[in-house]
Chains A and B, each alone.
Chain A
Amino acid sequence: MRNTVLVARFPKPDFTSGYQYPDVLHRVPMETFWSWVDVVLLVGMMGFVAWAVHRRRSRRAILAVSIVSVLYFGFFRTGCVCSVGSIQNVVLAMAGGDGYRLPLVVLLMFLLPLVFALLFGRVFCAGVCPIGALQELVNVRQWHISRAVTSALSFIPWVYLSFAILYAATRSQFIICRFDPFVGIFRMGGDVGMLVFGVLLMVLSVFVGRPFCRFLCPYGALLGIVSRVAVKRVKITHRQCINCRLCHHACPVDAIREPCGGKVAESRTIGTRRVALYLLLLPLLTVGAALLLQSQSDTLSMAHRDVWLYTQLRSDNPPAVLPAEVEAFHEMGRSMDELEASVVSVKESYRRLSAWAGALMGFVLGCKLVRLSLKRTRKTYEVDPSTCVACGKCFSYCPQAGRSTSQPMEQRAENGVYSNYPESRQRSSVAQHVNESTRFIKNSQHEEKHL
């Protein structure tokens, strides 16, 4: 390796005037201290949100957490390392090599939100994640996107995740960090392209709830999977749903699914057969996608600096101005054999890992197909636990709102529990609505008895 130290062209001066070398002290910020503060706050805030969502059922408490998170994790800690990006550190540590040791704090950043999601649903997304909180705070309108489009777009996070894993495991790049649209906003500077993208997303999230969370965030995809089997699920109300549809409009991420009673479109056998077909298709899709991505592994491997450098060195018509990397290669006196060996091993790992990344995408696609074709049995409005970000917006919209199941609904209506309703909705004769809905429930109970 080239050595620029101590060329000592000039001897050390021998001062006669009693000159003292200045004392230079390079201070290290208390990074370790602050990262433990991060972890403590992370746990504290997630615990608080869990309480606010499941016990207190208060949107305002969650909003407060969002503000704290944007200020602390976002603007004060400049959004790094976040749980979303920690996926890559974890993958890098799993892949080994380069002597990378996963800092314990980063490991906790990665694991804790998943553990909380398994217990209480996506309480991390509710307001603790600064990215989600930022989008939540600017959101005023919920333009609903059709279910088909949402389903299609929600595949993107998985593609993003697969590539993030591929590039992190091959030690090429941290693409989640590279393309993080919000970190620039938190730092008030940085890559111009990403800043513009971030601002555009912010503007979009005024009208559409959390576009990044729903259609890009790879960590959200993981949290969604885990919270599907959460021990405590987010509930719109602890009482009986009266199918008034009010909550449906409130949800920023379209997590509230309408009842599908009475819509039997096909016979049972056809439905079962279709599910069976998709289940058969699942391994085919997985293997197919794996092979497809693997066939592209050489192109993908150009993201690794050694492979790129090697191609530049080997190219038949080198550009007039050599890239700085090529010049550096010559200047550093790195041997061609060593580079070649590195390129071979990098390409090999790309071949292996791109197959896995492809398989992941294919498998998820297959699972989504199977899920879409499953028979639905919802009788009331229900929360889809994997999409719900536990924001609590729907709580106060529900005429059945409240913490306990003791107080009868009509009485609560008289007591004016709907005072925290938006004006417009209050005027749309909630009482009448409630009455109708009550009749609906009573009727359906009636029918059930006869069945």
Chain B
Amino acid sequence: MERREFLRTCGTLITGGGLASLGGVLGSKASAVEGETMWQIDPERCLQCGRCETECVMRVSAVKCFHANQVCGYCDLCGGYYREGVKELNTAAENLMCPTGAITRRFVEEPYFEYTIDEDLCNGCGKCVKGCSSFGNGSLFLQIQQERCLQCNECSIAKVCVSGAIQRVPVGTAYKLKDHA
């Protein structure tokens, strides 16, 4: 029995030493300054493949359409608002790009319209973003709404994103926007 006790004490010491050195090695690789990381879409890489709508673990995706007003042309014929090739510019649902009616517009002054996204309705499908990038200034873009995101250890969308646009970033730079480009 004494031999057992001795062996066990040795084991304890070895394991303790192992844990301590593992902690040391990892500590040198850890970053206290940057702290936590968050998931972020790089709008410059996103191809609006549509997976952001379907792959997020939330029932309604944490990815939302963001609007960079500073970049927007305030056009009447908005590529993100109207479907491609609509005959009449009225707001009947069949003419509009957004499947959930999340985009509203407000007349500012001739000939400008201001566009706003209702985040509660947006499901991150990226249809408007595609329209805006193809026919407009590219002021609409998809981004992870950090207050909704659960910060999964591995983002389910990042895993399948066709362009590898979703990466971990330090909390300090959580949002990559287009406003100040």
Which listed residue, A7, A93, A118, A230, touches B137 by the CB 8 Å rule?
A7
Query: Does any Cβ of B come within 8 Å of A4's Cβ?
Result: yes
Interface 0/1 of B139-164, CB less than 8 Å to A: 00000011100111110100100111
CB distance from B121 to the nearest CB of A (A): 17
Inter-subunit contact B37/A80 (CB<8 Å): no
CB-nearest residue of chain A to B136? A9
CB-nearest residue of chain B to A18? B109
Inter-subunit contact B35/A80 (CB<8 Å): no
CB distance from B104 to the nearest CB of A (A): 13
Query: Does any Cβ of B come within 8 Å of A22's Cβ?
Result: yes
Which listed residue, B26, B59, B156, touches A93 by the CB 8 Å rule?
B26
Inter-subunit contact A107/B30 (CB<8 Å): yes
Query: Does any Cβ of B come within 8 Å of A13's Cβ?
Result: yes
Interface 0/1 of A2-21, CB less than 8 Å to B: 11111111111101110101
Inter-subunit contact A12/B73 (CB<8 Å): yes
How far is it, in angstroms, between the C-alpha of A7 and the C-alpha of B178 when the chains are bound? 12
Q: Residues of A contacting B23 with CB < 8 Å? A: 107, 111
How far is it, in angstroms, between the C-alpha of A7 and the C-alpha of B112 when the chains are bound? 19
Inter-subunit contact B69/A22 (CB<8 Å): yes
Chain A residues within 8 Å of chain B by Cβ, number: 74
Inter-subunit contact A7/B73 (CB<8 Å): no
Q: How large is the interface on B (under 10, 10 to 19, 20 to 34, 35 or more residues)?
A: 35 or more
Query: Does any Cβ of B come within 8 Å of A28's Cβ?
Result: yes
Inter-subunit contact A187/B57 (CB<8 Å): yes
Q: Residues of B contacting A80 with CB < 8 Å? A: 150-153
Inter-subunit contact A332/B47 (CB<8 Å): yes
Inter-subunit contact B146/A28 (CB<8 Å): yes
CB distance from A103 to the nearest CB of B (A): 5
Query: Does any Cβ of B come within 8 Å of A174's Cβ?
Result: yes
Interface 0/1 of A316-340, CB less than 8 Å to B: 0000000011011001100000000
Interface residues of A (CB under 8 A from B): 1-13, 15-17, 19, 21-22, 24, 26-29, 31-32, 35, 78, 80-82, 85-86, 88-90, 93-94, 96, 100-107, 110-111, 114-115, 118, 173-174, 177-178, 184, 187, 189-191, 225-226, 228-231, 305, 324-325, 327-328, 331-332
What are 23 A-to-B residue pairs whose CB atoms are below 8 Å?
A: A5-B43, A5-B178, A7-B133, A7-B137, A7-B138, A8-B137, A9-B135, A21-B69, A22-B69, A28-B147, A28-B175, A94-B29, A101-B31, A103-B36, A103-B37, A104-B31, A104-B32, A118-B12, A173-B154, A177-B152, A229-B8, A305-B164, A331-B47
